[in-house]
Chain A
Amino acid sequence: MKKKLGALALITASALALTSCAGNGGGASQLPDSDPESKNITLWLMGPDTPDTLREYLTDEYKKATGGKLTIEQQDWGDVVAKLTTSLPDEKNTPDVVEIGNTQSPTFTTAGAFTDLTDMYDELGGENLLQSFVEAGAVDGKNYALPYYFGSRYNFYRKDIWAAQGKTVPTTLEEFNATVAELRTDDMSGFYLGGSDWRNAISWVFANGGELAVQKDGEWESTLSDPKTIEGLTQFQELFKNASNAPATEYDSAPWVNLNNNDATGKPEAATIIAPGWAHWSIGDPVTVKDPETGEDKPGAEWNDETFGTFVLPGVDGGAAPVFAGGSNIAISAASTKQEAAKELMRIIFSPEYQKMLGESGMGPANMEYTDSLGDDQFAQALVESAANSKLTPAAPGWSAIEGKKILEEFYGKIAAGGDVIELAKEYDAKITPLLNSN
């Protein structure tokens, strides 16, 4: 890693040959470790998911441990790749510790963006860390990015509507597919699923034992044409046609609003949805709540056990189907000049106290020892149950290019629009395989 850092410094220096000015921020890099400045580090967190109390805990604890100042910058999911691409290699401006989407982890890890944390791995939780996320941040058996938190997807449904149609919670995937298709009407989706929403739709591939891509002799290969994958894709096509009224092009929706009664019609738009666990905050009877910050009245939703329920997507032979896990990883920027201070922050993040705090905020803690902290209500149970069986996208170096170019949205959209599954799978295998291995 030292070598890599040296190389980095070299390019940075030569790329920036124009300048003779050290710049105010950059001056810090030359200072010895004993200088208080070298303890001041920056952490990038994604979106608003980490609550304020957790952020305060981190800054306070960091100050206690090192005497330095921790600055937390919040970045938006939609634009973060451009920012990571530019600032992570830039020694003078890189964030020292970054949260990164689990599907982006392999790409940035193989590109050499992160510090090797193998020697800290056991100290930070080792085998207890959620292993699918650990793998997404590992290359050649070395750990670079570690899990930060996980989320998982499960189903929310309208108990009243299901009951009125005499339906009960299904125990197999086939039963689920059939039930939601029967619930569909012209005004209401039996199961609301966007046609291009592959993050939810790949559960049907996983449930049937299929994979998006596999690694053979070190080379990644897209496996959409694998018979098991085809089976899952075909089931999705049927399901979309028979159970969902969503557009074939929809890929980034907020499906939970469809489960609530609409003001104009007094009815919901969907009888069932699949969504990340925190969606339950937005589902329920319409109520007026006070905004905690401003004290203003604003409309909210209040969960009602009479009307709403949850269940885990059932597998082909019962049990829970593997779903695509949400969540993110966390890593130290290789270009950071404050490696020791950054490692100190990692110790705080992976401390039992902070892991429990994550769980208490409804986020799956990276360290599976502390999942109890999620509580034991139906949401926590569904989260843990579905997460235990969750999967991630392939940990291929080029995976984030597949996402960045929206290739799977395109592929699923075409299937949803009624395209020939086998032909499409062949076409997109040819597109995806070369991308998977390049970086």
Chain B
Amino acid sequence: MATLAPTTQAPARRPRDPRRIRRILWSAVAIIAALIWVFPVYWMVSSSLLPNRTLMSFIPTFFPGAETTFANYRNVVADGSFFSALGMSVSITLIVVVCCLIFAFLAAIAISRYKFRGRKSFVLAVLLVQMLPAEGLFIAQYKMISSVGLLNSIIGVSVIYIAAVVPFTIWMLRGFVAGIPAELEEAAMVDGLSRPQAFMRITFPLLAPGLVASGVFAFLQAWNEFTVALVILQSNSSQTLPLWLRGFIQNSASREIDWGQVMASSTLVAVPVIIFFLIVQGRMTSGLVGGAVKG
């Protein structure tokens, strides 16, 4: 790459304007695309602020304006079941994310940095288990969890989630580890660092974006899942947020769907994810650029 270095000055000699104009143009395209993509989210939030009768009208209300009401939210959280479901969901998701990242990180290092007996079988097994359709598995999963007395428990459902998510995270992390040349680490070792030191100082920071991306993935899987939760968490007191939301929609449907409340509860389920994203956002986006491998 060194041979290219002199040419990097080149753009400075060219007139700046066409480049800037092009950037602005692309930014405009990006913003339009962004607005289209976020519309369903906007629609959910804006509907959650409207009374149901306005929502049932045939003419959509695009801006809540004067009709804005927080009554939907107050009604939804009134019985407290939201908060117990929130607690369940947060606990399960945290366990799943932490365990997945640790297990997958170790395994990804093993398969991309080492040759060992059984490596191929492991790689194949990881690939295969994630391909099994989950819809037929629930009886077996139930029997297994029930047999160890972990029904309706955070641990029981977490074990199944981790097993379901870990293959994907191994794959993602493996891609990121593969993107970091082992030579970097070796060069550092030549400079006198021990292997763990070299790993911690060189490889790990470069892997951070990959860990964040895999963590986000594990987070969303654990947060959203409801078909396994449905059979493993049968008790009302151990509901997760997706179950709570589903129950809310179904109960509402058996009388008359109160769309305002449904949208408010949907928003409430999404908010923790948004908060989580805001926390890791720096790592996810601009952080990625900083951590990128510059040849």
Find out whether A and B make contact in their complex, taking CB atoms under 8 A apart as touching.
yes
- List chain A positions with a Cβ less than 8 A from chain B: 15-16, 18-19, 21-26, 47-49, 73-79, 82-83, 85-87, 90, 92-93, 252, 254, 256-257, 262-265, 278, 281-282, 286, 291, 293-294, 296-299
* Residue contact A25 to B151, C-beta cutoff 8 Å: yes
State the CA gap A281–B147 with chains docked (Å): 45
Q: Is B255 an interface residue (CB 8 A)?
A: yes
B186 CB to nearest chain A CB (Å): 45
State the CA gap A87–B254 with chains docked (Å): 24
* Residue contact A77 to B254, C-beta cutoff 8 Å: yes
- List chain B positions with a Cβ less than 8 A from chain A: 51-54, 56-59, 71, 74-75, 78-79, 138-139, 142-144, 146-151, 230-231, 234-236, 246-247, 250-251, 253-258
- B residues in contact with A297, CB < 8 Å: 71
Known A86-B139, A299-B52; 17 more pairs at CB < 8 Å: A15-B147, A18-B148, A25-B151, A26-B149, A74-B236, A82-B230, A87-B234, A93-B146, A254-B255, A254-B257, A282-B255, A293-B75, A293-B78, A293-B79, A294-B71, A294-B75, A294-B78
* Residue contact A48 to B58, C-beta cutoff 8 Å: no
State the CA gap A262–B55 with chains docked (Å): 10
- A residues in contact with B54, CB < 8 Å: 263
10 nearest CB pairs, A to B = A23-B149, A16-B147, A264-B57, A86-B142, A263-B57, A264-B58, A19-B147, A299-B53, A296-B71, A76-B250
Task: Give the nearest-CB partner of B70 in chain A.
Answer: A296
B61 CB to nearest chain A CB (Å): 10
- B residues in contact with A293, CB < 8 Å: 75, 78-79
Task: Give the nearest-CB partner of A48 in chain B.
Answer: B251
A262 CB to nearest chain B CB (Å): 6
* Residue contact B146 to A92, C-beta cutoff 8 Å: yes
State the CA gap A258–B253 with chains docked (Å): 15
B249 CB to nearest chain A CB (Å): 9
* Residue contact B148 to A73, C-beta cutoff 8 Å: no
State the CA gap A5–B86 with chains docked (Å): 39
Most chain A CB within a 10 A radius of its CB, from B51, B147, B256, B258: B147
* Residue contact A264 to B231, C-beta cutoff 8 Å: no
B98 CB to nearest chain A CB (Å): 25
Most chain A CB within a 10 A radius of its CB, from B58, B231, B254, B258: B254
* Residue contact B138 to A82, C-beta cutoff 8 Å: yes
Task: Give the nearest-CB partner of B58 in chain A.
Answer: A264
- B residues in contact with A296, CB < 8 Å: 71, 74-75
A-B residue pairs in contact (CB < 8 Å), sample of 27: A15-B143, A16-B147, A18-B144, A19-B149, A25-B151, A47-B251, A48-B251, A49-B254, A73-B234, A74-B247, A79-B230, A79-B246, A83-B234, A86-B139, A87-B142, A254-B253, A254-B257, A256-B256, A262-B56, A262-B57, A264-B57, A264-B58, A265-B58, A293-B78, A296-B75, A297-B71, A298-B52
State the CA gap A16–B82 with chains docked (Å): 34
Say yes or no: A22-B256 contact (C-beta < 8 A), given A82-B138, A297-B71.
no
- B residues in contact with A262, CB < 8 Å: 56-58
State the CA gap A83–B236 with chains docked (Å): 13
State the CA gap A265–B148 with chains docked (Å): 59
- B residues in contact with A282, CB < 8 Å: 255-256
State the CA gap A85–B53 with chains docked (Å): 39
State the CA gap A98–B231 with chains docked (Å): 16
- B residues in contact with A265, CB < 8 Å: 58
* Residue contact A19 to B57, C-beta cutoff 8 Å: no
A253 CB to nearest chain B CB (Å): 10
Say yes or no: A298-B51 contact (C-beta < 8 A), given A74-B236, A79-B246.
yes
A372 CB to nearest chain B CB (Å): 26
